[in-house]
Amino acid sequence: MVNRGPQEIVANPNIPGEAPALSVVVTVVEGGAALTRCLDALGAQQGAPALEVIVPFDEAIPEVRRLNARYPFVRFVEMGAITADDNRNAFDEHALYERRRAAGLRVATGRLAALVEDRGAPRTDWAAAMIALHDRRPDGAIGGVVEHGGRGALRWALYICDFGRYQPGVPEGAVEYLSDVNICYKRESLETVRHLWRDIYQESTVNWALRRSGEALYLSHLPVVVEQRAVARLWPVMQERMHWARIFAHVRGREATSRSACVVWAVATAVLPAVLLIRHVRRQLEIGRHLPEFVRALPALLLLLLCWSLGEFLGYLEAALAWRPRHPAADAEHAAGS
């Protein structure tokens, strides 16, 4: 495989000539056992046509290249060097994930394009469920639920923070958010916002743009992935929460109608931990699942919510300083020219 630099993609030519029904981009987050578990799960899909499975990787994770022989049905997409910084924090790591997702979407050829991450293993009927849902529903983006496959109070708290709104038992239907660990787009819908994900894919930016254009985001119980993080350590997880919340606040800040809106949102983070905790408790009681695990995770959950709120506060202040009016006409012109 020839490395032609960070902006040019070179893929392994081990895919069938016919365009697949479904392309699946696997974002490498943990690598190692998590990645092989995910790829094994995708190789074991039942009741669906052959998938185009794409794994983008960069020089931060060169070991992924060695999996080529073990998984001949996978396109391993080499991205080259993304950054020379060996001291990346969680904010920088998240940006790498976003670039990997974008790289995979750029080379996907299926009429449907899905995103999962390596620590979420799809169940054997996942692909068949996604294809069937898109065949019968008009929604531009369809997401599935995320089940927890780990143990320990901290990992339960992380699962509740990240995927509480996507766990089995939550109501199906049109939603405001879908997760990039279990989402599938119609190709024609995704292409309408290509300028937003061509270099960096951020789920909120892409999905909110689709909603503004009249597309619905639909959450279904049928496509299931089982999320299983490696053993989590408290301090890195606290940093992760804060940095990921900064990213969310940056994205939301770009959607704001005024600089003052960013400032108001920053002030409102003072009550955000209580609001989020009440929301999580109410949701868990409504669906009635994993209540003992939820209770044991409460102290860790509250700590993570405090870190998230601090991250949003900082992100909104940064967004206020950098705020510029949105120009839909200019966005449309950009999209037409891309």
How many C-beta neighbours within 10 Å does residue 97 have?
18
> 52 and 191, same structural domain?
yes
Which structural domain, as residue segments, surrounds residue 287? Answer: 234-328
- CA-closest candidate to residue 49, choices 16, 84, 26: 16
What value, to the nearest 5°, has the Cα angle with vertex 96 and ends 338 and 56?
Answer: 75
> 142 and 39, same structural domain?
yes
Phi-psi region of 55 (alpha: psi -120 to 50; beta: other; left: phi over 0): beta
> 245 and 205, same structural domain?
no
Would residue 333 count as lying in a domain?
A: no
Please tell me the number of Cα atoms within 13 Å of 130 on its side-chain side: 36
Main-chain phi, psi angles of 58, to 5 degrees: -125, -175
Last residue in a domain, options 172, 206, 227: 227
> 241 and 203, same structural domain?
no
Last residue in a domain, options 164, 196, 227: 227
Q: At what angle do helices 234-255 and 259-268 cross, to 10 degrees?
A: 150
Mean pLDDT value across the chain: 89
Question: Which band of pLDDT confidence, cut at 50, 70 and 90, is reported for residue 330?
Answer: very low
pTM for this predicted structure: 0.88
For residue range 185-212, list pLDDT tens digits in order: 999 999 999 999 999 999 999 999 999 9
> 165 and 136, same structural domain?
yes
What is the rounded distance in angstroms from the CA atom of residue 91 to the CA atom of residue 317? 16
Residues 6+ apart with CB under 8 A from 338: 194, 195, 198
* Residue position matching structure tokens 């969680």: 90
What is the rounded distance in angstroms from the CA atom of residue 87 to the CA atom of residue 69? 31
Per-residue confidence (pLDDT) for residue 332, from 0 to 100: 42
Count of the separate structural domains present in the chain: 2
> 49 and 182, same structural domain?
yes
Per-residue confidence (pLDDT) for residue 336, from 0 to 100: 37
> 212 and 68, same structural domain?
yes
Last residue in a domain, options 227, 260, 292: 227
At 5 the three-state DSSP class reads: coil
Compute the radius of gyration of the chain from its Cα atoms.
20
> 95 and 29, same structural domain?
yes
> 240 and 220, same structural domain?
no
Would residue 209 count as lying in a domain?
A: yes
> 143 and 215, same structural domain?
yes
Q: Cβ distance 118 to 203 under 8 Å? A: no
Question: Which band of pLDDT confidence, cut at 50, 70 and 90, is reported for residue 326?
Answer: low
For residue range 236-287, list pLDDT tens digits in order: 999 999 999 999 999 899 888 899 999 999 999 999 999 999 999 999 999 9
For residue range 51-63, list pLDDT tens digits in order: 999 999 998 899 9
Share of the chain above pLDDT 90, in %: 79
> 73 and 50, same structural domain?
yes
What is the rounded distance in angstroms from the CA atom of residue 98 to the CA atom of residue 134? 24
